[in-house]
Structure 1
Amino acid sequence: MKKCLLLPFLSLTAAFAAEPVPEFKGSIERLDPALDKLIAPDAKIEVLATGFNWSEGPVWKDGQLLFSDVPENTVFGWKEGDASATTVLKPSGSLSGDGQGSNGLAVDAKGSLILCQHGERRIARLEKDGSFTSLADKFEGKRFNSPNDLVIAKSGSLFFTDPPYGMKKGTPQDAPYHGIYRLDTDGKVSLIIQDILWPNGIALSPDEKTLYIAVSDKDDTRLMAYDLQADGSVKNGRLFFHAHPLKSAERKGGCDGMKVDTLGNVWTTGPGGVLIISPEGKHLGTILTGQNTGNCAWGGPEKDVMYVTADMFLVRVKTQVKGL
């Protein structure tokens, strides 16, 4: 593990775009009565903050919602009572400042913030002194592309996707694939899937026997499922939900970030907003945002509030089910 110093950071008011922010127009589409058990019929979408460049990677930590603004190389924070989001970490993913910032965020068992750092092309941990520890930056001597999203298993093993979205234009890939990797607690990195182009979001089922991958291929956006083995390898890759037919001029975006609730339902960003998919692969409904929607995460003291990063917006919806 390598350590590097981070420039000191303070909590600063977010600098929002000077141009007027478009009005947020969202709603909840109900395709199956089963959705009423997950989101109350009278639930509303609440806008919390606006004006971001591209919001991503939300995670609940220490009583606040943290999320990345990837192009702005910043992690913002929002907590109850705040009138807007505030800067809590800058730079977040490119220490030199000339690359993309952090994307996916997670919190490990010790409460440390773990980041997918696009600019540094690695997985890193934020230390209490403000420095970063590099947890993994290459496999078999080849640098990662730009780690995008991650999920941490109960064992402490970390699974992450590595498409090239966050690479500087013109930078060649070291590896000829868009890998999906497992990082074990001893620092060993294993390539577990290499035959998917544009893997993005990643999640585990409640029993951790299924690994879900969101594929953001612009020509075939979809969710894949794999049987996760005891040794951390996968087998039986299969299509879990085909989201591409949902795309339209009104329903922008592809399958990106995702989370799973305690009942095993998959909440994935996709065409139109956040799609709620049953464990059997049935589309129950959608939190329509009207935006390209990057990611989502549960938060709040009871883990029963779904926070959504929808392009320039941070919004939330109260749910009747809890997140893992």
Structure 2
Amino acid sequence: MPLSRRLVLAGGVAGAAGLSTLAQAKASPPAVGVVRLDPALDGLIAPDAPIETLASGFTWSEGPVWIADGDYLLFSDVPENRIHRWSERDGASVFMDPSGYDGPDASAFREPGSNGLIVGPAGSILMADHGNRAVARVDLATRAKTLLATQYEGKRFNSPNDLVQASDGAIFFTDPPYGLKDMDQSPLKEQAQNGVYRLAPDGGVTLLVRDLTFPNGVALSPDQRTLYVAVSDPARAVLMAYDLTASDIAASGRVLKDFTDLVGPANPGLPDGMVVDRDGRLFVTGPGGVHVLAADGRALGLIQTGGAAANCTFGEDGRTLFITAGDRLLKLRTLTRG
């Protein structure tokens, strides 16, 4: 969950054509549409593809996950402590309330609900649970929750934010302080760092990266050799890439894309959630909407969402991009697959 939910941010994108196009956008309110920065985008999004609003009225929508067995989408409203369900047939409804903290007094939390959601073992989802400060598994039929990890070295996590699972069952997740009231200054904060962790299938937790200010969205490359981490810090708004084959993962970190120069008053958002298509291209939420990047970080386009976008995922037949954007749930058909 970025600091920018209540900030107004702006920007442009590297490349002469991109800078020229986005400079025009700065003079007007945030737009909705697709900005093409590279001809390669035409192979990913049709020129006439519309951005549809499927539902609205949320406080801060996040963490979309497509449930193929049932053909529906789940997504979090983090401040409201709910998970919503959307399907073409039934529209939007409340799926789980509360989704995170279920105690009597939530005043210590800035955002007590679930955040990132991904598909788990058959019939379940995995959750970054702000309110319980945990990584959890939820049974879709019963809504029963199992906490998989709550601490590192005897100290509670801050508020796990987003997660991704590798083919070997390991879960990579970020742990910024966004769920806690006063965030880094919260008296509940036990971890000195805002870390990136690996939860092993046997339950062991390893701290991979400790030097990021606000690690947020996380994803894996298709070959699972690269871990991507978005940093939602307006002073250093970057997308990091880490080599998972390195003996020291943190030392292998490199800036794949720097969005810091885009931050400003016309384009809402900071680097947040993301999804990777089957060919390794990244769809990363950031200033102005969802940035479409080649695997080497080259900017291909910007899906303008008319406000801050928090996360995105592919669903339906694999070609539909669902975007959680503040108070709205959006949909865009693409020519690629997740």
Query: Once the 2 structures are TM-superposed, how far is the Cα of residue 207 of structure 1 from its aligned partner?
Result: 0.3
- Once the two structures are superposed, residues 161-213 of structure 1 have per-residue CA deviations (whole angstroms, 9 ceiling, x without a partner) of 00000013333421110010000111111111111110000000000011000
Q: How does 1:19-168 map to 2 (within 5 A)?
A: 25-61=31-67, 62=69, 63-82=71-90, 84-96=91-103, 98=106, 99=109, 100-127=112-139, 128-168=141-181
Change (3 A) 1:126 1:316: same
Residue number among 189, 198, 201 corresponding to 1:182 in the alignment: 198
- State the alpha-carbon separation in 2 of the partners of residues 129 and 85 from structure 1: 19
Alignment-derived partner of residue 329 in structure 2: 314
- Once the two structures are superposed, residues 78-136 of structure 1 have per-residue CA deviations (whole angstroms, 9 ceiling, x without a partner) of 00133x41000011011126241000001124241111111110011113433211100
**Contact 1:228 1:234 survives alignment (8 Å):** no
SS of 2:47's equivalent? coil
Normalised by the length of structure 2, the TM-score is 0.85
Determine which structure has greater relative contact order: mean sequence separation of CA pairs < 8 Å that are 6+ residues apart, divided by chain length. 2
SS of 1:36's equivalent? helix
- Once the two structures are superposed, residues 299-324 of structure 1 have per-residue CA deviations (whole angstroms, 9 ceiling, x without a partner) of 10x2110000000010010011111x
- Once the two structures are superposed, residues 187-241 of structure 1 have per-residue CA deviations (whole angstroms, 9 ceiling, x without a partner) of 1111111111100000000000110000000211110001012889554110100
Letter in 2 for 1:281: G
Letter in 1 for 2:80: E
- Once the two structures are superposed, residues 44-85 of structure 1 have per-residue CA deviations (whole angstroms, 9 ceiling, x without a partner) of 101100010000000001311100000110000100133x41
- State the alpha-carbon separation in 2 of the partners of residues 57 and 232 from structure 1: 29
- State the alpha-carbon separation in 1 of the partners of residues 121 and 220 from structure 2: 16
Alignment-derived partner of residue 242 in structure 1: 258
Letter in 2 for 1:155: D
Change (3 A) 1:88 1:232: farther
SS of 2:272's equivalent? coil
SS of 1:252's equivalent? coil
SS of 1:52's equivalent? coil
Alignment-derived partner of residue 267 in structure 2: 251
Residue number among 207, 217, 224 corresponding to 2:223 in the alignment: 207
**88-97 or 204-213, larger mean C-alpha shift:** 88-97
Residue number among 258, 261, 270 corresponding to 2:286 in the alignment: 270
Change (3 A) 1:292 1:286: same
SS of 1:245's equivalent? helix
- State the alpha-carbon separation in 1 of the partners of residues 315 and 154 from structure 2: 37
SS of 2:50's equivalent? coil
- State the alpha-carbon separation in 2 of the partners of residues 296 and 203 from structure 1: 11
Aligned residues: 299
Letter in 2 for 1:212: Y
Structure 1 stretches of 5 or more lacking a match?
A: 1-22
- State the alpha-carbon separation in 1 of the partners of residues 193 and 36 from structure 2: 38
**Contact 2:234 2:263 survives alignment (8 Å):** no
